[in-house]
Amino acid sequence: MNGATGDGGESLTVHQLLRNLAPDYRKRFDSSMPERHRQVLKKILSCRTSALGGQLFECPDCPRFLYRYHSCNDRHCPLCGQADADDWFKRQQARLLLPTAYFLVTFTVPEALRLFLRAHQQIGLDLLFACSAQALQDLAGNPRLLGAQLAMLGVLHTWSRTLIFHPHIHYLIPGGGLSPDGRQWIAARPKFLLPVKALGAHLRTRFKARLQKEHPELFAQVAAKVWKRHWNVDSRPAGSGLNALRYLSGYVFKTATSNRKVHLLAAGMVRWNYRESQTGRHTSIQLQAPEFMARFLQHILPRGYARVRTFGWLHPAAKVRANRVRALLRQQSLLSPAEEKAWKPPPDPQIELPGLKTPLVCSAPLCPRCQQPMSLVASWRGGQVVLYPKRPP
């Protein structure tokens, strides 16, 4: 529901705001919008509307009908992804979290490189992933620092709290690694994984070398000052890793923001509330409507781009090493679905006992009037003509 803000404006969710602002934005800027942005915005605006199809439910006890419209399931949509994120969190919790300390390491790039990465996302962000992961492995492999191979879960974020383009990669890393001969678990120091200044310098060196070798025409577009700036890396203990994994899961299936409340002011400005990272103070900024739309849309990634990646012995191809680590830490090995099926004993025969009934699991919505489960009476796909039933008086 929309609500007045007391200053002549109204309080909207992000999705409602996008639907409110999109017609004028497309009218003014459609010819200059990337095709990918147009496609994603169209899907977002159609989410949970009759345009994508849906289902019709009827209450068996009172004359009530209820429509449920389909979701777009686009990872950039603020309405979608929560159930997927919860499932992902549960799966990764079982697969990734081990009985050891964890670290959260974040790589960022200088401000002078951000526009280049936004213009060349596929190439630039791939290099950022590859070079930051290799920087971690190179330094961890040094016997004076750790002398072991790490495992990392990397999640790309492209936004800041004010929605500007600010690409950075969060790595959730177990506090230790596998020895070169694969026979020992080598634990890191309790509150120290690797030196951050050396990580930043090594990332800069590798990124520059690979960009210059593989894409010399793009390398020429980067200002020389980028290679003289400090590339910031933050490393902090993350305890058991559970809270850090929960934080990362919130944006695996979302982009830039959840479907939070925002304020559309009477003058057409958008007031965006956020918390400053340095001070923790809650504050806000006011943006022109086109500026808000542009800030949101710039975080749309190329089709199929992998925002979540695993490296080291957590990579899917390193299953043997991963299970070796689990054995060293006295954990049960992980089996593939096929292995689980092969090794799982057959179920015991089911015996039906008189007087016992299997509980009915019903996912149908409840009638808003009488709270009884409603019955599915019709469903349709996007583009089909829908005949709406008449409500009895």
Half-sphere exposure of 251 (CA within 13 A, CB side): 17
Alpha helix segments (H runs only) across 215-318 = 216-219, 242-249, 289-297
Q: Which residues of 261-289 are buried (b: 16+ CB within 10 A; e: fewer)?
A: ebbbeeeebbbbeeeeeeeeeeeeeebeb
The whole-model pTM stands at 0.86
Q: According to the model, what pLDDT value does residue 50 have?
A: 85
The closest of 306, 307, 238 to 97, measured between CA atoms, is 238
- 5 pLDDT above the threshold of 70: no
Cα angle 333, 335, 339; round to 5: 140
CA distance 117 to 130: 14
What pLDDT does residue 277 have? 83
Q: Dihedral of CA 103/277/82/164: which sign?
A: negative
pLDDT tens, residue by residue, 248-301: 998 888 888 999 999 999 888 999 999 998 888 999 999 999 999 999 999 999
Neighbouring residues of 288: CB distance < 8 A, sequence distance ≥ 6: 268, 269, 270
3-state secondary structure of 130: helix
Angle, alpha carbons 335-337-340 (nearest 5°): 60
pLDDT at position 360: 34
More confident residue, 53 or 103: 103
